[in-house]
């Protein structure tokens, strides 16, 4: 049975009512059987596509304070050293995960610990793989500090189709690695920023699995 994320329940219910109403109107007013059948088929396909977008499969996280796990499903599109200007204000290693509309869009905490920073930024809607989307797009920035004192920053970044980012993190909150940290509705990207001495365990082109795949080991 498909588990549906809480962020999708209202949308799916509203879509179901809308599609049912459209099909009923066509059934009563358009007496053409093939039109009715095509509309019904298209309605079913559309509903299944939206349904799978909001799926929330169980993930089995092996909690480990020395490891950083993938916060999202998708494809690793960049691993690079950048200058982080919002929180750390120094150089960091950035791993970027692109999430297509077909991916699970649940976001998960990459490490356990305390949220030391959480901020929402309004912005543009460049395509999620655009190099400047990390700083220009609508996004959130969250920093979690592990019990060992290591801080990991991650960003939820809206894409060209995304128009709503949901962030659960609040400053001072204690969080557990692998649990839900938010949701991005439709195509998007997540960046994870790590210390320069982190031991990266992935490469560009790898397919990430949120809550389970190890991105890096912290020293």
Tokens coding 52: 């799978």
Q: In 3D, which of 84, 60, 51 has the Cα closest to residue 154?
A: 84
Which residue, chain included where needed, has tokens 């962020």?
7
How buried is 136 (Cβ within 10 angstroms: 0-12 exposed, 13-18 middle, 19+ buried)?
middle
Which residues lie below 8 Å from residue 79, measured CB to CB, with a gap of 6+? 93, 94, 95, 96, 200, 202, 203, 204
CA distance 208 to 206: 6
Tokens coding 128: 């999620």
Residues 133, 134, 188, 208: which is the catalytic one? Answer: 188
Task: Answer yes or no: are the C-beta atoms of 186 and 52 closer than 8 Å.
Answer: no
User: Would residue 188 show up in a list of annotated catalytic residues for this protein?
Assistant: yes
Catalytic site residues? 188
């Amino acid at each position: 049975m498909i588990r549906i994320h809480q962020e999708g329940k209202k949308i799916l219910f509203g879509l179901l009512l809308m599609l049912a109403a459209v099909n009923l109107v066509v059934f009563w007013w358009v007496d053409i059987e093939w039109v009715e059948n095509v509309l019904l088929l298209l309605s079913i396909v559309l509903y299944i596509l939206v349904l799978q977008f909001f799926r929330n499969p169980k993930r089995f996280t092996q909690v480990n304070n020395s490891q950083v796990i993938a916060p999202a499903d998708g494809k690793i599109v960049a691993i690079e050293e950048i200058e982080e200007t919002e929180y750390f204000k120094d150089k960091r290693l950035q791993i970027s995960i692109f999430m297509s509309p077909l991916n699970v869009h649940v976001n998960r905490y990459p490490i356990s610990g305390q949220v030391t920073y959480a901020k929402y930024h309004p912005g543009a809607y460049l395509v999620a793989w655009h190099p400047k989307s990390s700083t220009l797009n609508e996004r959130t920035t969250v920093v979690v500090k592990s019990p060992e004192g290591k801080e990991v920053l991650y960003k939820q970044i809206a894409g060209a189709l995304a128009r709503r980012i949901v962030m659960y993190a609040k400053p001072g909150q204690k969080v557990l690695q692998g649990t839900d940290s938010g949701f991005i509705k439709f195509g998007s990207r997540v960046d994870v920023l790590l210390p320069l001495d982190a031991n990266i365990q992935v490469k560009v082109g790898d397919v990430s699995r949120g809550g389970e795949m190890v991105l890096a080991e912290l020293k």
